[in-house]
Structure 1
Amino acid sequence: MTRMTRRGATVELAISSALAALGVTRNEVEVKVIDQGKKGFLGFGAKEAEVTVTIKHVDEPSVPEKAVTPEVATIESKEEIVVESISPAMQKQTPVEEFSDELAVKETEQYLLQIAQGMGIEDIQVSHEIDGKYVNYQLESAKAALLIGKRGQTLNALQQLSQLITNKSSDQFKVVRVDVGDYRERREQSLEQLADRMADKAVRTGRKVQLEPMPSYERKVIHHTLSNRLDIETYSEGKDPFRYLVIESIR
């Protein structure tokens, strides 16, 4: 693939997502910004940025026709070269793409370092912990607020991109969590308190309460917190990234 269109919370995050998927660096591509996106107000009216990233073409020396032998027939396209007949000796020389948890974590940590440095965060430190199918990346910096962003939007974007990069090279599917300090824990406590307040409001007024758009794992925190209440029900509406949760009284 030589061209990819991606969206993200910001133009830079959209570009980084495309670079990770294409497996190239910034100086190897041309970037066209389709939509700058907008932040919205209080979580509403937000719009993702959209970019198209195209790999630059590199001219290669032509191969004389006599170098092509009948024994090896190839079909060439812009995206791949398919070899229909390859000798056993040639097969042994074919490079094999590596897949391992160690490689996946190393690439993801390097990516997080590059993104943070691109944001002007030079003191960034990245560590990780693997627990079965779960990989937890911990970020440390004096500029933690920049990594978190408003209501965790920047941190959520970093987590989504890290999920893609980790699973690109891991030998089995991994669930990725990216945290800065104890932000995730504090955010979950805040969501639990919000859930109780909004549920009480729905019961008291008899009207539906619509929360702001949240990523799926935050909506799950709300669902789980209110799962034992018999006086309300919760459900999600809309499409990501603007999917939101509704609390409704059932009295």
Structure 2
Amino acid sequence: MRKVTVSGKSVDEAVELGLSKLQTTKEQVEIKVIEEAQKGFFGLLGGKPAVVEVKLKPDPIKEAILFLRETIDKMGISASVEKDERNEGIFLNITGVDIGVLIGKRGQTLDSLQYLVNLVANRQSDNYVRIYLDAEGYRERRKEALETLAMRLSNKALRTKREVRLEPMNAHERKIIHTTLQNVKGITTYSDGEEPNRRIIVAPK
């Protein structure tokens, strides 16, 4: 039950009754006053109660998970979604078969899904919600691969005393490269180009 229409001697009384029926709090609902209470003749006859509609606000995380599951189903993929709440945000991990289709080339499909999931979650949310999407631990494997690549290319830049240009990456992946090499002696990194073709340059100082 997502909404109820209730009546009471006053709007406040009707709202309290609605909250009780929905077993929720005032912060979690939208309240619409349909009719104000009216006193009868001499306060006795012909009075009308207040009528209000009490409706549960959408849960942004539940809405996002529902959207993600429906999207995965429409793609013809059999998978499940698990939620993990951490300090930095909500993590949704997808597990199942043919997960590579959801990841896409260099995680591009997964990034697109993550963008859409965040749009859905924040469509009706009062406070910004940050959702991170992963599939079978892909993000961690990609992070480790980028760190290894960064170290290998920094060694090449030092050895050849020449700049090394990486392939275009999204902002999150570029940050991993920058962070990995920020304390490497004799090496500097900077980004070049425009999105979506922005890339990192690893250069000797």
Unaligned runs of 5+ residues in structure 2 are: 1-32, 37-50
Distance 1:205 1:139, change over 3 A: same
Give the TM-score, by structure 1 length. 0.57
Q: Secondary structure at the match of 2:145?
A: helix
- Give the drift of 1:97: 8.8
Aligned ranges 1:150-229 → 2 under 5 Å: 150-229=105-184
C-alpha distance in 1 between matches for 2:167 and 2:54? 48
- Give the drift of 1:237: 1.7
The structure that has the greater radius of gyration is: 2
Q: Could you tell me which residue of structure 1 aligns to residue 91 of structure 2?
A: 136
Aligned ranges 1:73-92 → 2 under 5 Å: none
Percent pairwise identity: 37
Any conservation in 2 of the 1:163–1:176 contact (CA below 8 Å)?
yes
Give the TM-score, by structure 2 length. 0.69
Q: Secondary structure at the match of 1:169?
A: coil
C-alpha distance in 2 between matches for 1:174 and 1:133? 10
Unaligned runs of 5+ residues in structure 1 are: 1-86
Distance 1:172 1:131, change over 3 A: farther
Give a deviation string over 1:92-125, Cα, whole Å, max 9, x none: 96988936xxx1111111111122122211x221
Check if 1:244 corresponds to 2:199. Answer: yes
Q: How many residues align?
A: 159
Any conservation in 1 of the 2:34–2:52 contact (CA below 8 Å)?
no
Name which of 117, 123, 126 aligns with 2:81.
Answer: 126
Any conservation in 1 of the 2:72–2:79 contact (CA below 8 Å)?
yes
- Give the drift of 1:225: 0.6
Give a deviation string over 1:126-172, Cα, whole Å, max 9, x none: 12122245010111111111111111111111112222222223332
Q: Could you tell me which residue of structure 1 aligns to residue 67 of structure 2?
A: 111
C-alpha distance in 1 between matches for 2:80 and 2:34? 46
- Give the drift of 1:188: 0.5
C-alpha distance in 2 between matches for 1:110 and 1:88? 31
Any conservation in 1 of the 2:34–2:53 contact (CA below 8 Å)?
no
Q: Secondary structure at the match of 1:151?
A: helix
Distance 1:108 1:208, change over 3 A: same
Distance 1:205 1:127, change over 3 A: same
Give a deviation string over 1:228-250, Cα, whole Å, max 9, x none: 11211111122222221111110
Q: Report the AA paired with residue 242 of structure 1.
A: N
Q: Secondary structure at the match of 1:197?
A: helix
Segments of 4+ in structure 1 off by > 6 A?
A: 92-97
